[in-house]
């Protein structure tokens, strides 16, 4: 350990910025810095200018821009989405991001001191002064060393995960030199900065005040122990300094042209995010000749192009996608990056081709979009707010326009157009499910009710789900509340056909239902199906009925928007019944049943609308012992029925429903002691009854709806019996 010379009287506590760099070297440095800045800003301008060539987005994403920027800064600064499902990844990213920003700010401070403050004080006082001295310098050095160390540690973790443990989601078809350039250049910049600092400390004889630069001091000690003398350090310092500076210039200049651009595009993407993305989808103009799909890459809006540039290839979306996990031909990351790659090829003069098609050479295969379950897991997992579902729906609309949909989906469209429901059954039979009830259900078209109950297609026509509808009717009857239904004026809600691309039929259904709602007197709308709940709550209020008012193909006369101010409460039935339970209307004590159960969060109730507790509270109210599956709430695993999956013919290694039932019996704390798999969605009921059969779980677990548990609990208290026809689980219709 060298002897540190004491600070001499009058010696300034600071360091020389261009130590051992000649005046010519300084001029060269500023010239290269200027070139770098010009290249950087030109690249950023070119990127954002390209977005202007995309279609306008469907709503104003720049309203209240200051507020949006502040909210985005909070999200980015907290790294809150980086910690989602990946603690190590979150810590890693926080270290890198905060270390990078600290080093960037530190460099800016030095530049301001040298190039502005010193010249300004010279102009004003005739004496060149610096604030980069004394306590400020010591504090600066300590903070820079500490955060710079975390920066290097974070990058070390990134390198370890990418190249040693080879985290699977970090690698894919679009992995290329950009990924290595980003992580290695930052790592070398961090390590190189400490090497330069250590050589300076060694070359200047270990000034005592430099102990605050604890990492640089340690590096100087290591260099000295390795045999590097102060004289050699002084001689080699310019080489190390220039190597560090040139790498920094190359990195900064490359930011707009490679993966590092995500530092800008990701923040811009968070600023312009739609907080209801996925819950609602962009509408289409009434003009039948308008490009509502994906005829070309310029059909995509500027926000969708920004989504593509914001993707960091982290693979979080891929790792949570149930379609990808079940072997379907869908990787959400690859879809976004395939579109980006094609856009860049077209911009460079490459050959154009169809965006999506069934067969042939297209950017995206029809099979890929058919595989999507519209479960929104990819969007929930994305740390930079990419709105996958919006782009996916655009491509589904293109498939619909081209007629490239599977035959079962086209049959569903025909059923809805001709019969008003996805089953193709007569509308007059829509309320036949209620025939076995011992009481009559009110016709909401004739009488005022508290709850206008939208029953939905599957509870109306599917034998297994009819039992759920009757259970819910008995619950409402037992609670002595006023409720009624629309009978044959109720049609399919339109949620899933919209997500597979049939927008105009969705608008027609929305207009029909809004007219029906306005002819009734009620306080709340209650939905059996979370899909109906989402579309009534979030999508019907967005429909511009006035634009379609003159369209002779639209059989409705309504022109004004519906429920934009939320004056009509739209509830999922579990929310309505939870209120009844809390008010004591059902008389449950919480001890009626003693089953060991687990609960599955439906995507449209949970991830889409953040309702997780109401169904759980109802399950607990029956006395059941509820055990959570590892993937629950926002991390719930889709049943496979959404986005038209209920009607698709798909090849998959394992059905999502089979994997979910396996998880319930093997990965839940209660293990195979779980007796009942509880759902709160008719589509989930159908998919899991099918998965129970095809996966060989028929003897191991029973599929029940929350409503059926409540009715069984009421029966044990002497409430109205459901009846023999409604007890036990039955297989879903094939």
Give the CATH number, domain containing residue 246.
1.20.950
Cβ(96)–Cβ(149) below 8 Å: no
Same domain, yes or no: 348 and 375: yes
Same domain, yes or no: 392 and 419: no
CA 307/CA 51 separation, integer angstroms: 11
- DSSP for 638-663, please give it: P-S-TTTTTT-----SS-HHHHHHHH
- Count of domains in the chain? 3
Q: Is 204 domain-assigned?
A: yes
CA–CA distances in Å: residue 482 to residues 441, 443, 452, 453, 719: 10, 11, 9, 10, 18
CA 385/CA 427 separation, integer angstroms: 41
- DSSP for 391-450, please give it: HHHHHHHHHHHHT-S-HHHHHHHHHHHHHSSTT---GGGTTGGGGGSSSPPEETTTS-EE
pLDDT, residue 719, reads 67
Same domain, yes or no: 344 and 462: no
CA 449/CA 520 separation, integer angstroms: 9
374, 389, 404 - which closes a domain = 404
CB within 8 Å of 696: residues ≥ 6 apart: none
Q: Is 581 domain-assigned?
A: yes
| Paired strand residues for 598 | 627, 677
Q: Which two tokens stand for residue 301?
A: 């809006």
Same domain, yes or no: 514 and 648: yes
Q: Which residue has the tokens 């992995």?
A: 175
Same domain, yes or no: 332 and 349: yes
- Residue 428, classified by CB atoms within 10 Å of its CB into exposed (0-12), middle (13-18) or buried (19+), is exposed
Q: Is 70 domain-assigned?
A: no
pLDDT, residue 344, reads 96
Q: Which two tokens stand for residue 619?
A: 């399950």
Cα atoms in the 13 Å half-sphere on the side-chain side of 494:
27
CA–CA distances in Å: residue 625 to residues 92, 586, 715: 38, 20, 19
Q: Distance between alpha carbon 296 and the CA centroid of its chain, in Å?
A: 25
Strands 676-679 and 702-705: parallel
- pLDDT tens readout for residues 656-681: 999 999 999 999 999 999 999 999 99
348, 378, 404 - which closes a domain = 404
Q: H or E stretch including 157?
A: helix 134-159
Cβ(344)–Cβ(354) below 8 Å: no
* Residue 560 burial (CB count, 10 A): 10
Same domain, yes or no: 293 and 151: no
User: If the chain, 734 residues long, is cut into consecutive pieces of 10 residues, what is the mean pLDDT of each piece?
Assistant: 45 89 96 98 96 88 95 93 91 96 96 93 91 95 97 98 95 95 97 98 96 97 96 97 97 96 96 95 83 90 96 96 94 98 96 92 95 96 96 96 93 97 97 97 98 98 98 98 97 97 96 97 98 98 91 88 95 98 95 97 97 98 98 96 92 90 97 97 98 96 98 85 43 38
Same domain, yes or no: 96 and 238: yes
Same domain, yes or no: 161 and 295: no
pLDDT, residue 289, reads 76
Q: What is the CATH number of the domain that holds 382?
A: 1.10.1060
Q: H or E stretch including 679?
A: strand 676-679
pLDDT, residue 721, reads 57
Same domain, yes or no: 332 and 443: no
- Strands across the sheet containing 483-485: 442-443, 483-485, 449-454, 522-527, 569-572
Same domain, yes or no: 711 and 626: yes
Q: Is 131 domain-assigned?
A: yes
Same domain, yes or no: 353 and 413: no
CB within 8 Å of 83: residues ≥ 6 apart: 89, 90, 91
Residue ranges of alpha helices (H) inside 650-705 are 656-666, 682-694
Integer-rounded Cα Rg, in Å, for the chain is: 31
Q: Is 61 domain-assigned?
A: no
CB within 8 Å of 588: residues ≥ 6 apart: 581, 621, 622, 710, 713, 714, 717
Q: Is 659 domain-assigned?
A: yes
Range of the domain at 145: 23-56+78-269
HEC profile of 548-599: HCCCCCCCCCCCCCCCCCCCCEEEEHHHHHHHHHHCCCCCCCCCCCCCEEEE
CA 706/CA 260 separation, integer angstroms: 48
Residue 681 φ/ψ, nearest 5 degrees: -150, 130
| Coil vs helix vs strand at 356 | strand
Same domain, yes or no: 488 and 568: yes
Using the 8-state DSSP alphabet, how is residue 470 labeled?
H
Handedness of CA 95, 96, 101, 104 (dihedral sign): positive
363, 382, 404 - which closes a domain = 404
Please count the helices (runs of H) and the strands (runs of E) in the chain. Answer: 27, 11
Q: Which two tokens stand for residue 251?
A: 């990195």
Q: Distance between alpha carbon 443 and the CA centroid of its chain, in Å?
A: 41
Length of the chain: 734
Beta strands in 184-225 (DSSP E): none
Q: Is 65 domain-assigned?
A: no
Q: Is 561 domain-assigned?
A: yes
- Residue 197, classified by CB atoms within 10 Å of its CB into exposed (0-12), middle (13-18) or buried (19+), is buried
């Amino acid at each position: 350990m060298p002897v540190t010379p004491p600070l001499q009287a009058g010696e300034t506590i600071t360091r020389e910025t261009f130590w051992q760099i000649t005046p010519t070297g300084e001029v060269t440095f500023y010239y290269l810095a200027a070139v770098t800045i010009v290249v950087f800003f030109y690249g950023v301008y070119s990127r954002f200018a390209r977005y202007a060539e995309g279609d306008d987005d469907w709503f104003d994403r720049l309203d209240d821009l200051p507020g949006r920027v502040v909210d985005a800064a909070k999200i980015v600064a907290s790294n809150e989405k980086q910690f989602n499902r990946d603690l190590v990844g979150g810590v890693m990213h926080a270290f890198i991001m905060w270390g990078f920003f600290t080093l960037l700010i530190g460099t800016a401070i030095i530049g301001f001191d040298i190039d502005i403050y010193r010249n300004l004080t010279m102009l004003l006082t005739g004496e060149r002064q610096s604030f980069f001295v004394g306590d400020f310098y010591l504090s600066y050095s300590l903070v820079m060393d500490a955060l710079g160390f975390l920066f290097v540690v974070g990058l070390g973790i990134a390198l370890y995960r990418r190249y040693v443990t080879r985290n699977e989601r970090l690698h894919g078809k679009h992995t290329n030199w950009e990924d290595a350039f980003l992580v290695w250049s930052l790592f070398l910049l961090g390590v190189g900065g400490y090497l330069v600092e250590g050589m300076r400390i060694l070359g200047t004889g270990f000034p005592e005040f430099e102990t605050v630069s604890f990492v640089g001091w340690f590096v100087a000690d290591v260099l000295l122990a390795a045999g590097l003398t102060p004289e050699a350090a002084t001689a080699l310092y310019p080489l190390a300094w220039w190597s560090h500076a040139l790498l920094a210039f190359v990195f900064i200049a490359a930011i707009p042209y490679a993966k590092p651009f995500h530092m800008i595009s990701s923040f811009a993407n968070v600023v312009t995010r739609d907080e209801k993305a996925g819950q609602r989808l962009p509408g289409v103009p009434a003009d039948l000749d308008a490009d509502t799909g994906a005829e070309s890459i310029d059909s995509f809006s500027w926000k969708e192009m920004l989504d593509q540039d914001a993707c960091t290839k982290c693979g979080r979306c891929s790792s949570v996608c149930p379609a990808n996990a079940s072997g379907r031909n869908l990787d959400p990351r690859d879809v976004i990056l395939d579109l980006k790659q094609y856009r860049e090829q077209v911009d460079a003069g490459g050959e154009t081709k169809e965006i999506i098609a069934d067969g042939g050479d297209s950017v995206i295969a029809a099979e890929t979009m058919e595989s999507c379950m519209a479960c929104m897991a990819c969007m929930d997992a994305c740390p930079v707010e990419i709105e996958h579902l919006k782009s996916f729906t655009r491509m589904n609309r293109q498939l619909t326009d081209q007629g490239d949909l599977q035959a079962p989906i086209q049959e569903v469209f025909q059923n809805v157009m001709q019969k008003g429901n996805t089953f193709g059954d007569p509308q007059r039979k829509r309320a036949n499910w209620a025939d076995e009830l011992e009481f009559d259900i009110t016709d909401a078209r004739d009488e005022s009710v508290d709850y206008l109950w939208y029953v939905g297609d599957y509870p109306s026509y599917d034998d297994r789900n009819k039992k759920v509808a009757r259970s819910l009717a008995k619950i409402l009857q037992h609670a002595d509340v006023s409720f009624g239904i629309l009978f044959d004026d109720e049609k399919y809600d339109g949620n899933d056909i919209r997500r597979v691309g049939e927008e105009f039929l969705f608008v027609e259904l929305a207009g029909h239902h809004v007219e029906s709602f306005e002819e009734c007197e009620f306080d709340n709308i209650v939905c059996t199906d979370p899909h109906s709940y989402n579309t009534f709550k979030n999508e019907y209020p967005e429909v511009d009925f006035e634009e379609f008012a003159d369209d002779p193909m639209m059989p409705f006369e309504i022109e004004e928007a519906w429920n934009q101010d939320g004056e009509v409460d739209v509830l999922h039935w579990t929310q309505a019944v939870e209120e009844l339970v809390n008010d004591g209307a059902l008389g449950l004590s919480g001890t009626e049943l003693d089953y060991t159960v687990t609960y599955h969060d439906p995507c449209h109730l949970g991830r889409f609308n953040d309702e997780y507790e109401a169904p759980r509270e109802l399950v607990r109210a029956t006395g059941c012992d509820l055990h959570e599956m590892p993937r629950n709430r926002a991390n719930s695993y889709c049943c496979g029925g959404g986005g038209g999956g209920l009607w698709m013919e798909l090849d998959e290694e394992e059905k999502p429903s089979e994997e979910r039932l396996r998880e319930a019996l093997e990965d839940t704390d209660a293990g195979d002691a779980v007796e009942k798999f509880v759902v709160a969605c008719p589509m989930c009921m159908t998919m899991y009854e099918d998965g129970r059969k095809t996966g060989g779980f028929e003897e191991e677990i029973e599929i029940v709806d929350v409503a059926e548990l409540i009715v069984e609990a009421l029966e044990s208290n002497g409430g109205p019996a459901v009846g023999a026809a409604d007890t036990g689980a039955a297989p879903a219709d094939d």
